[in-house]
Amino acid sequence: MKIAFIGDIVGRPAREIIRDNLLSFRDEYSIDYVVANYENASHGFGLTQKNMEELLSSGIDMMSGGNHSFDKKDIFPLFEKYPLIRPINYPKSAPGRGIYTTTINNHKVAIINLMGYHFMGAVVDNPFNIINDEVAKLQKNGVKHIIIDIHAETTAEKRTLLYMLKDKVSAIMGTHTHVGTDDLEIVDGCCYVTDVGLTGCIDNVLGMSIDVPIAKMTTGVGKHFDVPNECKSILQMIIFELDDNGRAISSMKLKIFDDGKTILTNGLNFNSRKKEYN
């Protein structure tokens, strides 16, 4: 099966480039299922029902969140009706769920949203202990295809998760920093990237208008961040293929710009036991 993962969707420019391109790229690359991170999709903070419906009709199958999952309060009832999840290590009393299971090409697939512990500004449980328990439960139930969206600030947390779970899960996709990293690889059958990178405006700061970040850095006074009405936009997407045992066998990163330019980069395939790259 081929899975596509889209990183942080930031505002209207991101929704538009997804709407204009995703369905055709699904056909071109024979993608079976698309996962995306929604937490910045509505005006840069959270997700509204209207924008959720727009994204689901544009070719996305399900969505995960992060530290801005609850910024738009109308998302609360949507968790029960739509394929949406929030970080699994939020307190159990928080709205929503942290894991979503579905069937793709006759295989049961689990998608888990996990949030990092450091510098995230949210009250969450230790992500490493939580994810160990959840993966063990899935394996006990015979689930071999497991995909994790690790929404975290620090690269060390994401790399630690890779080497902790590489033999147990199919893919670990990093989100949150909005800055794509050039380290897409398959390690012992687990597809990994530290950060997919934002989808949205790229000629500013983290997909937001530049005035407020500059003012905050130079004066110490912050204001509300806004997504610009006009900008140069990009759609960043990881595409990986899983075999019947849930192991990743190929990966690529696709960058689509609003001027029609596309860049395709293949990920490395690394067997750490033999210390060989393919």
Is the Cβ–Cβ distance between 113 and 65 less than 8 Å?
yes
Close Cβ partners of 124 (under 8 Å, ≥ 6 residues apart): 87, 89, 90, 91, 115, 117
Task: Count how many residues are written for the chain.
Answer: 278
For the chain, list the strands marked E by DSSP: 2-8, 33-37, 62-64, 99-104, 107-115, 145-151, 171-175, 185-187, 190-193, 200-201, 233-242, 248-257, 262-266, 268-271, 276-277
| Mutual angle of helices 155-165 and 127-140, in 10-degree steps | 30
Positions marked catalytic: 68
* Nearest one of 188, 110, 111, 104 to 150, comparing CA atoms: 111
